[in-house]
């Protein structure tokens, strides 16, 4: 548990001080460094709307009745995940309304919160002051986490006011978007969703490669720079997602995916004070290296980028050139599942796909799962509701070879480590290039036909029933992700009208369409909850 800053006792005096200037009245989206970084994980952010309908306040000599405060609260991730019920957070003021009208406000400094979180109940204690007119507002919130910790609802007290009020807080959704011109350069953007409906995008935060894969592992954002770039790029969420480090994975290695082993709850990945080894080390990454002569999963020390060893996958390839083509990686129940495309050097011979199961502690393959289809392609995910792992198999895209629908969606039962076909790609009507699962009854996949027209189709992750098409386009759909909070995000990669589309995951109905600066190529979910 980090040392918490204590509020000073002489709180009532600040209500008598006159306003001396507007120190902070900008909405959210200012400087991003709120709590220490870059070694910490992404912090949970919740948007709080506190209302005091009977509060009265004098501003400029006029009496206003009714007070509403829109706040964003960023929780220190380590303090909410350790065993201590105390947590640390900082609040930012987005807007203050009195009598239904926006009002100027000022702050004397950061709004530190030192509260408790235990048994699904959150308290903030008194925090502030927020200067509005001649009053220094001190808030005290107590609420219950509901809807799987997506929301907090409860009572809002105001120091010196007996009428009281209520508040609701909603977990802020955030998505990391890797865009690319598909030739020379890529850039990172971040999408934010406040109160489930207010959607904004911050573009061009950092330069990345033109073949990028966005990932969030162990609560930290990464970019895997693939073909001809061969680097692992760590981003700092506390410094506007600028680069914290960039490590080579080996010249010509063409890394495709990354898994980072989680540290103990409440720990931070790195110890800036240089504490004892093993207490908050930067962590270990497992990176799939697609090209020969690597053909492995590299074990990377995130402290300095050193490749500690490579877990050789060559013995599990059956094509004539013995190239396993490791693609996607997934950490599930302490084991790492790695898809093997098993394609030769010329991409004209594809064996049936396989999945290598790696024990990260032993750093060796402990099992190999045979798939019935070909070319597991950028699609590997799991579902907590069904307990299954889902693999998308593309079959053969039209190109060097004729199109072949020899794939679909297969499921792996982790208990038996056996795969079975859930949805045949003939039923889906094309090559499968992405899969995501929202619930036990709704999953989504991207399929493309021989004319490369793309569709997002719904299916049942339990029965395999093919459901409706929710979107189709003549453009490439490069990425598809369920955010875990009820939305499905689709990246339409077009040079002329690049955009990110958001759909209701339960119904498939369109929610929003956001224009992108560069064609979107990969999406990762930044959202963290309590």
**Per-residue pLDDT, 17:** 26
Residue 11 has pLDDT above 70, yes or no: no
Residue 22 has pLDDT above 60, yes or no: no
Residue 317 has pLDDT above 80, yes or no: yes
Residue 423 tokens read as 């949805």
Taking the mean position of all CA atoms in its chain, how far away is CA 39?
17
Burial level of 350, CB count in 10 A (0-12/13-18/19+)?
buried
Domains of the chain: 12-171 (2.40.128.120), 173-274+286-525 (2.130.10.10)
Query: How far apart, in whole angstroms, are the C-alpha atoms of residue 456 and residue 434?
Result: 9
For the stretch 323-360, pLDDT in tens is 999 999 999 999 999 999 999 999 999 999 999 999 99
Distances (CA, A) of 273 to 39, 136, 279, 304: 11, 37, 11, 16
Average pLDDT over residues 91-102: 96
Query: How far apart, in whole angstroms, are the C-alpha atoms of residue 239 and residue 404?
Result: 46
**Are 505 and 442 spatial neighbours (Cβ–Cβ below 8 Å)?**
yes
Identify the band that residue 40 occupies on the pLDDT scale cut at 50, 70 and 90: low
- The order of strands in the sheet holding 376-382 is 376-382, 389-393, 408-413, 418-424
**Are 341 and 353 spatial neighbours (Cβ–Cβ below 8 Å)?**
yes
Residue 78: which H helix or E strand, with range? Answer: helix 77-81
Q: What is the DSSP letter of 109?
A: S
Query: How far apart, in whole angstroms, are the C-alpha atoms of residue 393 and residue 420?
Result: 12
**Per-residue pLDDT, 491:** 97
Burial level of 329, CB count in 10 A (0-12/13-18/19+)?
buried
For the stretch 506-521, pLDDT in tens is 999 999 999 999 999 9
Is the peptide bond preceding residue 38 cis, with omega within 30 degrees of 0?
yes
**Per-residue pLDDT, 266:** 54
For the stretch 25-36, pLDDT in tens is 333 333 333 333
Residue 470 has pLDDT above 90, yes or no: yes
Q: By C-alpha distance, which of 171, 119, 165, 177 is closest to 144? A: 119
Residue 274 has pLDDT above 80, yes or no: no
Q: By C-alpha distance, which of 230, 351, 218 is closest to 287? A: 230
Query: How far apart, in whole angstroms, are the C-alpha atoms of residue 421 and residue 419?
Result: 7
**Per-residue pLDDT, 263:** 73
Q: By C-alpha distance, which of 279, 221, 285, 292 is closest to 253? A: 292
Residue 229 tokens read as 């770039």
Residue 273 has pLDDT above 70, yes or no: no
Q: By C-alpha distance, which of 178, 81, 93 is closest to 526? A: 178
For the stretch 397-410, pLDDT in tens is 999 899 999 999 99
Q: Please give, one letter per residue, the 3-state secondary structure of 415-464.
A: CCCEEEEEEEHHHHCCEEEEEEECCCCCEEEEEECCCCCEEEEEECCCCC
**Per-residue pLDDT, 217:** 94
**Per-residue pLDDT, 3:** 29
Average pLDDT over residues 390-395: 98
**Per-residue pLDDT, 265:** 57
Identify the band that residue 269 occupies on the pLDDT scale cut at 50, 70 and 90: low
Tell me, yes or no, if the pTM score tops 0.75.
yes
Identify the band that residue 272 occupies on the pLDDT scale cut at 50, 70 and 90: very low
For the stretch 101-142, pLDDT in tens is 999 999 999 999 999 999 999 999 999 999 999 899 999 999
């Amino acid at each position: 548990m980090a040392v918490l800053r204590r509020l000073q006792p002489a709180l009532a005096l600040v209500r008598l001080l006159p306003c001396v200037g507007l120190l902070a009245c900008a909405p959210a989206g200012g400087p991003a460094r709120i709590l220490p970084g870059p070694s910490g994980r992404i912090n949970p952010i919740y948007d709080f709307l506190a209302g005091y309908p009977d509060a009265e306040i004098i501003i400029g000599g006029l009496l206003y009745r009714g007070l509403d405060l829109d706040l964003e609260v960023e929780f220190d991730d380590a303090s909410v995940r350790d065993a201590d019920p105390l947590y640390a957070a900082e609040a930012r003021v987005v807007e203050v309304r009195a009598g239904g009208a926006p009002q100027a406000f000022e702050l004397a400094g950061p709004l530190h919160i030192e509260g408790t979180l235990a048994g699904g109940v959150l308290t903030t204690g008194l925090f502030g002051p927020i200067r509005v007119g001649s009053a220094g507002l001190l808030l005290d919130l107590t609420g219950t986490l509901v809807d799987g910790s997506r929301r907090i609802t409860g009572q809002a007290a105001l120091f010196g006011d007996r009428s009281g009020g209520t508040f609701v807080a909603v977990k802020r959704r955030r998505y990391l978007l890797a865009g690319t011109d598909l030739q020379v350069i890529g850039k990172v953007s971040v999408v934010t969703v406040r109160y489930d409906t207010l959607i904004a995008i911050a573009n061009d935060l950092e330069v990345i490669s033109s073949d990028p894969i966005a990932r969030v592992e162990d609560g930290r954002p990464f970019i895997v720079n693939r073909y001809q770039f061969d680097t692992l790029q760590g981003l700092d969420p506390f410094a506007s997602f600028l680069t914290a480090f960039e490590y080579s994975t080996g010249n010509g290695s063409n890394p495709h995916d990354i898994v980072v082993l989680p540290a103990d709850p409440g720990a931070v990945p790195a110890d800036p004070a240089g504490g004892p080894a093993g207490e908050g080390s930067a962590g270990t990454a497992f990176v799939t290296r697609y090209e020969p002569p690597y053909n492995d999963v590299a074990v990377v020390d995130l402290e300095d980028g050193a490749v500690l060893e490579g877990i050789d996958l060559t013995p599990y390839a059956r094509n004539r050139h013995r190239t396993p083509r490791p693609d996607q990686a997934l950490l599930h129940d302490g084991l790492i599942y790695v898809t093997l495309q098993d394609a030769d050097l010329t991409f004209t011979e594809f064996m049936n796909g396989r999945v290598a199961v790696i024990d990260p502690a032993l750093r060796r393959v402990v099992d190999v799962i045979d798939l019935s289809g070909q070319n597991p392609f950028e699609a590997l995910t799991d579902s907590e509701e069904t307990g299954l792992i889902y693999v998308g198999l593309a079959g053969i895209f039209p190109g060097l070879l004729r199109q072949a629908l020899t794939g679909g969606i297969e499921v792996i039962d982790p208990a038996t480590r056996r795969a079975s076909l859930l949805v045949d790609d003939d039923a889906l009507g094309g090559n499968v290039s992405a899969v995501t699962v929202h619930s036990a009854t709704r999953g989504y996949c991207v399929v493309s036909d021989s004319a490369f027209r793309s569709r997002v189709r719904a299916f049942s992750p339990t029965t395999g029933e093919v459901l409706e098409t929710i979107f189709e386009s003549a453009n490439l759909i490069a990425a598809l992700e369920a955010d875990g909070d009820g939305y499905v995000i689709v990246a339409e990669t077009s040079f002329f009208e690049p955009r990110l589309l958001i759909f209701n995951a339960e119904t498939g109905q369109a929610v929003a369409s956001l224009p992108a600066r560069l064609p979107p190529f990969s999406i990762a979910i930044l959202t963290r909850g309590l």
